[in-house]
Structure 1
Amino acid sequence: MSRTGIIYGINGPVIYLKGNTGFKMSEMVYVGEEKLVGEVISLDKDRTTIQVYEETSGLRPGEVVEASGEAVSVTLAPGILDNIFDGIERPLERIAENAGAFITKGISVDSLDMQKLWETHITVSEGDVLHGGDIIAEVPETRAIVHKCMVPPDISGTVVSVVEDGRYTIHDTLVTLELNDGTTRDITMIQRWPIRVPRPVHDRIPASVPLITGQRILDTMFPIAKGGTAAIPGGFGTGKTMTQHQIAKWSDADIIIYIGCGERGNEMTQVLEEFQELVDPRSGNPLMNRTVLIANTSNMPVAAREASIYTGLTLAEYYRDMGYDVAIMADSTSRWAEALRELSGRLEEMPAEEGFPAYLASRLSAFYERAGMMHNLNGTDGSVTIIGAVSPQGGDFSEPVTQNTKRFVRCFWGLDKSLAYERHFPAIHWLTSYSEYLIDLAGWYNEHVSPKFVDYRNRMMAILNQENSLMEIVKLIGGDVLPDDQKLTLEIAKVIRLGFLQQNAFHKDDTCVSLEKQFKMMEIILYLYKKCRELVARGMPMSVLKAEHIFERIISIKYDVPNDNLQMLDFYHQEIDDFYQAVLEKNA
């Protein structure tokens, strides 16, 4: 017998039912005549509180609410990739076919295509003993990704029957298991999983491999590990979304999940259109072949915004369980926090700092804690990397969302509006940003790039810090009074800023740069610094060095050296030596 309740109060997306309904905490319910999707968020003996994930206009007291019998869950099976969902995993393209450009209330469509036949290769045999997470079949989901169908994590048993290789829908039985209690269970491609419950793993592995993004300031100066967490805070127009786009396009993650959480509709439209056109640089296939987009724009119901973050996380954990490296772009966690604040206000909870709920920190920590490099139940290794944009009002990093996020992430890429106004992109400021992964990743850099990589990075950071100190003096009394060795520091810092940290997303050779090229660029800049210091020590004034235009030549390396011809970088050492000799001869 279905459990039901009667609405007696409505407050925006929050509704109240009187009496003991028999509903369970976090259970999904269907609200009113239009069967709106909702979730139980509070229970006591006299009242049940539900948040509704759809627009509640037109809903009235007296309408019936029905229990579904399960928590808010997502459907996991082939067909997730190359798809666009809303915050509760409803496919927007299917909705558009059925109901037009706007999501109508109460619309019910399957999350995934139930009729499509998938070419399936079975990987188990009769008599095999299987445990949760074991792979039973492989399906080429897209040209880029093989989907590995797994036994649900909470099931184990012996295979008593299995189908042959062939074409099957996602709800066809592939394997029948005899469980430990003697009952049998049919296993299909489909799993259902509650979005607020982390998927189980065998154990967590320490971070030791970088997520290579092709962006110099990220890969070299402030790297993030696979399975790591990063925040990109910045005011309006500083480039949070563009930085995430660059990472999504060029990083070496196997799968990208882009969550547009509360962003402007026209911005999400641009994302959708761009991603449909992009070509994956690794395979030559469309980038959407390994991408999932979750669109929950600012004009969509606020409660679904809060759920969209967990929907994306659960999809990421599912692919991680197959052994893939997944990167989540959450844009932006501030809009998610604002959704929490609005719901908390409607629930009349005691507000904390700036009106945010007292549990803001614990929700943020629970979100970022689901990242990590994991050893899965089936013996594979996979990772979920979370990169969350933060949109502090007025660019104020002291507000609660930014401050609490800093407590739970190990990589902080602080965007600076003054850099953005100077058209220096990415506008990540090297003095406010940091990465705690550098020590963890040093061994990988030593083995795969060069033992000098981290040392060169630290020397460049030291030059930038010296520049910051010297600029305080320059602002007070001007640069002409500085000795030549300090003028040289300022000039080399300018080379680092313009020639290395600044990167052009629209230049074919500069938009994505390999670690080998990044290392050689650092090597050339530091070699130039070394030779110039020798000249200054010999008494050469900076005006003579600048007259040779060597600094401009080194800045332009990023455009002049194609990514497929890195041998050209070897000639720059000779060019610097020639410059050194020319200065000595002219001023002998």
Structure 2
Amino acid sequence: MRESGAKGTITGISGPTVTVDTPGLKLCEMVLVGAAQLAGEVVRLERERTVVQVYEETRGLSVGEPARGTGLPLTVRLGPGLISTMYDGLQRPLESLRQVEGPFLRSGRLLEPLDPQRNWQFTPVRHRGEAVRKGELIGTVAEGALLHEVVAPREGTLESVIDGTFTIERAVAAYPGGEEIFAFQSWPVRRPRPYRRKFSPAQPLVTGQRAIDFLFPIARGGTAIFPGGFGTGKTILEQSIAKYADADLVVYVGCGERGNEMAELLEEFRTMGDRWTGRGLLERTVVVVNTSNMPVAAREASIYTAVAMAEYFRDQGKNVLLLADSISRWGEALREISSTLEEMPGEEGYPTYLASRLAAFMERAGTVETLSGKTGSLSMILSVSPPGGDFTEPVTQACLRTAGVFLMLDTALAHGRHFPAINWFQSYSLYRDRIARHYEESVPGWEAMAARCRELLQKEEALREVAEIVGAEGLQDADRLLMHTAERIRTRFLRQNAYSEDAFSAPEQTAERIAALLEAHEQAQQRLAEGVLLEDLL
């Protein structure tokens, strides 16, 4: 990490918030503070001092220790070596840190995010002496099934191009005068990566969850949230989607979650295969981990680190899925940082810019035409943990303003061992009409069956209130049959076991199962009209 030349000393410390007298610093610039060189970020500039939010534990730091700027904002390195790696919110490779430090990591340790010793194979498509335009492909680097594209940063003539193995620190090409081209890119995490244009989402993101794909479909390039109280299965649902979703790459962010849950996730991902490619599941996954015992500043940065990596893969022409568990922990970190900066609090103590910052983050999702002319997509699925299951709290409401799919996780369903505990009356999808047309092409009758299914569930809810007053025996036989069919839809169709073969349901399997239930209902209705007793039918 290069220095900006700005050097000074620490003048004050308040928890993770440090004031320095380093001149010439810029807002959002990374600063290394103390003899341990703890990484921090400039969050406020004043006439006589600069306020730095430190990403790490500041215990042992003292006034008078040195502080110097790096000249750069929080930046990630994007290139070969990202896949199958577990990072923290500063893109430090946790497995490499464990090998160096052991299981207990100390502050101030920064390692290169991409292994500098690993050999890669570069396959050129342009050669020495050829002229290239900005953004034109020079060559590729294979990482499993993914080809990392190396493009020209500017127009010019190539003076040299390698053909063979190299390490990430070695240039793969160069312009006259010694300007080098590397296989990696450095990118500020808070700045969205550019593209030519953005398309309206039109293709479905198949998750394998029948309740989602059939009733509340998510679009590729779309955004979805599922809020739920404690114990409603948010983490299990996120992990199930990460395992089975039809995506080329998955970036999973454990933001403020328990460490044992992340350990179980990683162990399972190491042993599972990807049903779409036949390769190992980790070969299409990048994990960003900031558990609940890690500093809050790094937790706040973790979702930006993750989305910058996801956008990089999107720009390779891939369909990328970003999963964050949970965005509420990110909001709590933002609130804690805002409080230490003594900013004006908004609703429930959250900063007044919570909604705009969340919206700016979620707007980075989408299906786009990249600068190289390819089409890639970035979809976001975010879990929300409203305190006490109160969906009127600020984080849930801020997400609702931007998200295209709302999947409400119901505590009563969860306690009834119904997984996923998605409430089919309170949830909705703004993509349903567009996605239904796509499903209709591959599975005829899809939308008609979905409409019929919703109709039966809605009628059952109305009949349930009547049955509570007069009793089930007081209902007409046709109504009792409808309630019986709706119960079968809930227990045999909308419910899935996350730890069995039923954890994933392809659209064809989904259509086959609901078609059988609806056909059985129609036949029973017909026989009931012919005079057959309901007890005989059931």
1:93 is matched with which residue? 95
Contact kept in structure 1, 2:44 and 2:52, CA below 8 Å? yes
Amino acid at match of 1:16: T
2:12 is matched with which residue? 9
Matched, 1:476 2:478: no
Larger Rg: 1
Alignment of 1:215-254 (within 5 A): 215-254=209-248
Distance in 1 between the 2:419 and 2:188 partners? 39
Q: Quote how far apart the aligned CAs of 1:175 are.
A: 2.1
Question: Any unmatched runs of 5+ in structure 1?
Answer: 547-588
Contact kept in structure 2, 1:222 and 1:435, CA below 8 Å? yes
Among all aligned residue pairs of Structure 1 and Structure 2, give the percentage whose two residues are the same amino acid. Answer: 44
1:295 is matched with which residue? 289
Alignment of 1:29-48 (within 5 A): 29-48=31-50
Distance in 2 between the 1:441 and 1:465 partners? 22
1:519 is matched with which residue? 511
Matched, 1:131 2:124: no
2:271 to 260, 272, 277: 277
1:427 is matched with which residue? 421
Matched, 1:491 2:484: yes
Distance in 2 between the 1:474 and 1:184 partners? 81
Q: Quote how far apart the aligned CAs of 1:335 are.
A: 0.3
TM-score of the two chains, using structure 1 as the length reference: 0.89
Matched, 1:390 2:379: no
Matched, 1:437 2:431: yes
Q: Quote how far apart the aligned CAs of 1:184 are.
A: 6.2
Alignment of 1:494-573 (within 5 A): 494-508=487-501, 510-546=502-538
Q: Quote how far apart the aligned CAs of 1:145 are.
A: 2.3
Amino acid at match of 1:408: T
Contact kept in structure 1, 2:89 and 2:299, CA below 8 Å? yes
Contact kept in structure 1, 2:217 and 2:429, CA below 8 Å? yes
1:168 is matched with which residue? 166
Amino acid at match of 1:380: K
Contact kept in structure 2, 1:117 and 1:169, CA below 8 Å? yes
Q: Secondary structure at the match of 2:503?
A: coil
Amino acid at match of 1:490: M
1:556 is matched with which residue? none
1:584 is matched with which residue? none
Contact kept in structure 1, 2:161 and 2:174, CA below 8 Å? no
Distance in 1 between the 2:243 and 2:137 partners? 29
Q: Quote how far apart the aligned CAs of 1:363 are.
A: 1.2
Distance in 2 between the 1:438 and 1:340 partners? 33
1:255 to 249, 253, 260: 249
Contact kept in structure 2, 1:27 and 1:70, CA below 8 Å? yes
1:464 to 457, 461, 467: 457
Q: Quote how far apart the aligned CAs of 1:71 are.
A: 1.0
Distance in 2 between the 1:280 and 1:365 partners? 32
Q: Quote how far apart the aligned CAs of 1:47 are.
A: 2.3
Q: Quote how far apart the aligned CAs of 1:539 are.
A: 3.2
Distance in 2 between the 1:71 and 1:534 partners? 69
Distance in 2 between the 1:428 and 1:79 partners? 37
Distance in 1 between the 2:415 and 2:87 partners? 35
Matched, 1:189 2:179: no
| 1:346-378, Cα deviation, whole Å (9 max, x unpaired) | 111111111111111011101110000110000
Q: Quote how far apart the aligned CAs of 1:147 are.
A: 2.2
Q: Quote how far apart the aligned CAs of 1:449 are.
A: 2.1
Q: Quote how far apart the aligned CAs of 1:483 are.
A: 0.8
Q: Secondary structure at the match of 2:434?
A: helix
Contact kept in structure 1, 2:255 and 2:326, CA below 8 Å? yes
Alignment of 1:286-435 (within 5 A): 286-435=280-429
TM-score of the two chains, using structure 2 as the length reference: 0.97
Distance in 2 between the 1:542 and 1:5 partners? 85
Q: Secondary structure at the match of 1:2?
A: coil
2:193 is matched with which residue? 199
Amino acid at match of 1:6: T
| 1:470-492, Cα deviation, whole Å (9 max, x unpaired) | 11111222111111111111011
1:585 is matched with which residue? none
Contact kept in structure 1, 2:11 and 2:20, CA below 8 Å? yes
Amino acid at match of 1:467: E
Distance in 2 between the 1:449 and 1:171 partners? 49
Deviating more after overlay: 44-53 vs 532-541 = 532-541
Distance in 1 between the 2:37 and 2:178 partners? 34
Count of residue correspondences: 534
Q: Quote how far apart the aligned CAs of 1:74 are.
A: 0.3
Contact kept in structure 2, 1:145 and 1:289, CA below 8 Å? no
Contact kept in structure 1, 2:247 and 2:321, CA below 8 Å? yes
Q: Quote how far apart the aligned CAs of 1:506 are.
A: 2.0
1:75 is matched with which residue? 77
Contact kept in structure 1, 2:162 and 2:173, CA below 8 Å? no
Amino acid at match of 1:149: V
Matched, 1:158 2:151: no
Matched, 1:146 2:140: no
Question: Any unmatched runs of 5+ in structure 2?
Answer: none
1:568 is matched with which residue? none
Contact kept in structure 2, 1:227 and 1:371, CA below 8 Å? yes
Contact kept in structure 1, 2:322 and 2:380, CA below 8 Å? yes
Contact kept in structure 2, 1:31 and 1:65, CA below 8 Å? yes
Distance in 2 between the 1:255 and 1:461 partners? 33
Q: Secondary structure at the match of 1:480?
A: helix
Q: Quote how far apart the aligned CAs of 1:286 are.
A: 1.2
Distance in 1 between the 2:304 and 2:373 partners? 25
Q: Secondary structure at the match of 2:158?
A: strand
Q: Secondary structure at the match of 2:484?
A: helix
Distance in 2 between the 1:506 and 1:270 partners? 14
Q: Quote how far apart the aligned CAs of 1:294 are.
A: 0.7
1:567 is matched with which residue? none
Q: Quote how far apart the aligned CAs of 1:273 are.
A: 1.2
Q: Secondary structure at the match of 1:137?
A: strand
Amino acid at match of 2:317: G
